[in-house]
Structure 1
Amino acid sequence: MSKRDPRRLPHDFHLWTAVAATIDPLRRKRLLKLAAGPLPLPEPPAEIAQPKPAEPPRRSFSVPSYQAPVPADRPADRALEPSIRHKVVRGRIDIDGTIDLHGLHQDEARAALYRFIQARVARGDRTILVITGKGQKTIDDYTTAMTERGVLRTMLPLWLSEPMLSPLVSGWSVAARGHGGEGAWYVRLRRS
């Protein structure tokens, strides 16, 4: 990393000087008061005696301990085991099949995924690669104009955790950069 030239002014020096010109320094007496400690609080005014309204009788009840709600539409997160993912990334475990869902609508992609996984399980395959694509990140490179981050990419974990596919799949994980990165998923199938 290169060092900055101390004689060169920062690019926003004019802003700093404009802001610094609007600030008034603290007076010396005020500084001494602040250094001495907190200021004494004024005494509260004497309360005027007013009749208090009658309180209703208190009921005792027990409050159950808080349990965080689990959304019904959120899939159970079944991540691929780190050792298996590492072996797939390194090429020690072969990818038995690949399906590309680019350009398909949700219904078409879901049906194609069901057919593909059922065929691969029947064949005895263990590891497959599902390519969904990354989806759009932003419009015009402004973070304030974010769009939805890839429908197929978002829906794949939901589809894999549905009752038809859940017994066939043991886990899934985002693929490594060499296999498609954030636009692809490793899916590990159960033995039949």
Structure 2
Amino acid sequence: MATVRPLRAVAPAAVPKPAPVVEPPRRPVGRLPTRPLPAPKKAADLPKRPLPGITLDAGWDKKLARGLVTPDATIDLHGHTLHSAHDLLDGALARSVARGDRVILLVTGKPPRPESERPHARGAIRAAIGDWLAGSRHAGSIAAVRGAHPRHGGQGALYIVLRRLRG
């Protein structure tokens, strides 16, 4: 290599310097962060019951997923406006809670297909159901909301599982 000479003298290409790596400061091990603790919540601010959707055990989820549960009541919201569907849902939930029903089949209609190109208002009731149930006067009576089995409507329906009445 010592005896080899290049044919032409070529200037080496300028190589940009890498930016210096700045490491974040490390916290000493064994010390707690020094930020202030949040103020404790008042008892009035805490929900009285768990939020809907998180209280079913695995047995209930398996039964619902396999379609082995027979709904005690059915609410069909086809052909309704948002206002009339909300009123119908509220009244039907009140009747079901009073009767002590456990599972309600709520038929909302299938959501619009993702491949549909034209703008349309399909699926407005389906999109509003979660907010309606969470803000309902019956929200404390709802244990969970799950998608329905294909024999009960599949994507176009939901199961509303109500809490057991404590007597």
Q: With structure 2 as the length reference, what TM-score do the two structures score?
A: 0.61
Point out which structure has higher relative CO (alpha carbons under 8 A, 6+ apart).
Answer: 2
Match of 1:93 among 59, 64, 69: 69
Match of 2:15 among 35, 41, 59: 41
* CA distance in structure 2 between the aligned counterparts of 1:146 and 1:173, rounded to whole angstroms: 28
Matched to 1:150, the amino acid is: G
* Secondary structure of 2:139's aligned partner: coil
Q: Deviations over 1:129-180 (max 9, x none)?
A: 0000014336xx555x454550111111111111412112111011122211
Match of 2:93 among 113, 117, 122: 117
5+ residue gaps in structure 2?
A: 1-11, 18-33, 37-50
Change (3 A) 1:42 1:154: closer
**Cα offset for 1:112?**
0.7
Q: Deviations over 1:60-100 (max 9, x none)?
A: xx999xxxxxxxxxxx6625735313213445432111110
5+ residue gaps in structure 1?
A: 1-37, 44-61, 65-75
Matched with 2:123 is 150
Equivalent residue runs for 1:157-168 within 5 Å = 157-168=130-141
* CA distance in structure 1 between the aligned counterparts of 2:133 and 2:93, rounded to whole angstroms: 10
* CA distance in structure 2 between the aligned counterparts of 1:80 and 1:122, rounded to whole angstroms: 21
Is 2:159 the counterpart of 1:183? Answer: no
Q: Which runs of 4+ in 1 moved over 6 A?
A: none
* CA distance in structure 1 between the aligned counterparts of 2:90 and 2:16, rounded to whole angstroms: 74
